[in-house]
């Protein structure tokens, strides 16, 4: 029985012992090399920025922060920051959160006019006694800390929104056509997880949320435990897809707990998806897309989605790789 298999068997059989067994084995094991993983293939670019930090022995926290800033600043990425799709009132409202290896957390929700929501979330974590700041309060906090107010709606996102206004149909239930269209238009939320040379984990998640949502709607992405969770003893997870469904099952926390008790990252992602299917039924789950990614303390990674076409971008010292997620339903 190899070491990882042994860890899983020990963990599954004796949860109370699992952590101490993991710790002893982790201490004996060779430290895994740094790695960064992200939701969606086009985020390979973001991984490169994170890898710049990790390869110079920088922290996982700095790596995920720098990494997700890439799509935030990209006007052609229609799901994050500048150029993000607006809500039904034509307002671009961004959500982001960040979590480090010590359980420090920061989050902003429904933040307008600021390109780098993730940087504001990190400031919430590092400079305030709070963990979440929303709406006008988040904007006020950002401006007080030197962030510039900008218009995040671009000519093309404005034009598409104006087209959408002709029918004004909000349909978050994701058809396969919709998924294909979104992939062509670029991709969705970026969730990024990293393990650094000092064997510490961190994660970040940032999004402009579901296109044409109600003003003030917040999905899973800035919610610690739903869109992102990190437990430095075990692993980390992040999500993309219909946020309401991820919140329903505390997706990322559920995955980390499943890894704690011995599952591989891929098995843990599938377990969380199965929980939604059990709760809401197969007919319901077949109409929504959720994609999960997970990374454990040993540098093992995995992903799973409800519907096809979800991908995960991976970067290690061996180079870049794209993993196409297994999925539950055709």
Residues recognised as catalytic: 189
C-alpha span between 211 and 304 (Å, rounded): 23
Region of 15-23, 28-36, 132-140, 204-212 interacting with ligand ASP (CB under 6 A): 204-212
- Paired strand residues for 95: 207
**Counting contacts by CB under 6 A, is residue 221 touching ligand ASP?**
yes
CB 98 within 8 A of CB 204: yes
Q: Give me the DSSP letters along 197-233.
A: TTS-EEEEEEE--STTPPTT---STTSBTTTEEEETT
Residue with Cβ nearer ligand ASP (34 or 209)? 209
CB 263 within 8 A of CB 300: no
The distance of closest approach from Cβ of residue 239 to ligand ASP in the complex, given in angstroms and rounded to an integer, is 6
- The 10 Å Cβ neighbour count of residue 2 is 7
Q: Residue 237: helix, strand or coil by DSSP?
A: strand
- Paired strand residues for 36: 194, 315
C-alpha span between 11 and 21 (Å, rounded): 8
Residue with Cβ nearer ligand ASP (58 or 241)? 241
Phi and psi of 53, rounded to 5°? -75, -50
Instruction: Using CB under 6 A, pick the residue from 66, 189, 206, 311 that binds ligand ASP.
Output: 189
Region of 101-109, 217-225, 294-302, 303-311 interacting with ligand ASP (CB under 6 A): 217-225
Region of 10-18, 123-131, 239-247, 294-302 interacting with ligand ASP (CB under 6 A): 239-247
C-alpha span between 103 and 229 (Å, rounded): 9
Instruction: Using CB under 6 A, pick the residue from 238, 240, 254, 264 that binds ligand ASP.
Output: 240
C-alpha span between 144 and 133 (Å, rounded): 14
Phi and psi of 83, rounded to 5°? 85, 10
Residue with Cβ nearer ligand ASP (242 or 269)? 242
CB 197 within 8 A of CB 30: no
Q: Which residue is nearest to ligand ASP (CB)?
A: 243
Instruction: Using CB under 6 A, pick the residue from 243, 251, 265, 302 that binds ligand ASP.
Output: 243
The distance of closest approach from Cβ of residue 91 to ligand ASP in the complex, given in angstroms and rounded to an integer, is 14
Residue with Cβ nearer ligand ASP (205 or 268)? 205
Instruction: Using CB under 6 A, pick the residue from 58, 225, 241, 262 that binds ligand ASP.
Output: 241
Instruction: Using CB under 6 A, pick the residue from 210, 256, 269, 312 that binds ligand ASP.
Output: 210
- Binding to ligand ASP, residues 55-84 (CB under 6 A): 79
Residue with Cβ nearer ligand ASP (22 or 285)? 285
Chain residues binding ligand ASP by CB under 6 A are: 79, 188-189, 207, 209-210, 219-221, 240-243
């Amino acid at each position: 029985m190899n070491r990882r298999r042994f860890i899983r068997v020990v963990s599954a059989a004796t949860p109370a012992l699992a952590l101490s067994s993991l710790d002893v084995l982790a201490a004996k094991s060779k430290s895994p090399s740094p790695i960064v993983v992200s939701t969606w293939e086009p985020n390979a670019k973001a991984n490169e920025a994170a890898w710049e930090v990790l390869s110079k022995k920088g922290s996982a926290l700095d790596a995920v922060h720098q990494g997700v800033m890439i799509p935030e600043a990209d006007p052609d990425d229609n799901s994050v920051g500048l150029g993000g799709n607006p809500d039904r009132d034509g307002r671009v409202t961004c959500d982001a959160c960040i979590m480090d290896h010590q359980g420090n957390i920061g989050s902003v929700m429904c933040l307008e006019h600021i390109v780098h929501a993730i940087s504001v979330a990190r400031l919430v974590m590092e400079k305030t006694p709070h963990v979440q700041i929303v709406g006008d309060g988040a904007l006020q906090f950002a401006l007080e800390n030197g962030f510039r107010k900008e218009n995040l709606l671009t000519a093309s996102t404005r034009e598409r929104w104006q087209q959408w206004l002709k029918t004004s149909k909000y349909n978050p239930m994701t058809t396969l056509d919709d998924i294909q269209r979104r992939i062509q238009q670029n991709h969705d939320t970026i969730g990024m997880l990293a393990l650094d040379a000092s064997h510490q984990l961190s994660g970040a998640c940032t999004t402009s949320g579901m296109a044409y949502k109600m003003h003030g709607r917040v999905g899973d992405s800035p919610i610690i435990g739903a869109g992102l969770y990190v437990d430095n003893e075990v692993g980390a997870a992040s999500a993309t897809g219909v946020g309401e469904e991820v919140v329903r099952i505390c997706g990322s926390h559920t995955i980390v707990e499943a890894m704690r008790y011995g599952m591989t990252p891929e098995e843990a992602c599938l377990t969380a998806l199965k929980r939604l299917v059990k709760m809401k039924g197969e007919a319901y789950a077949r109409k929504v897309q959720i994609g999960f990614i997970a990374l454990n303390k040993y540098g093992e990674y995995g992903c799973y989605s409800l519907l096809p076409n979800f991908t995960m971008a991976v970067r290690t010292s061996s180079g870049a790789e794209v993993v196409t997620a297994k999925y539950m339903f055709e």
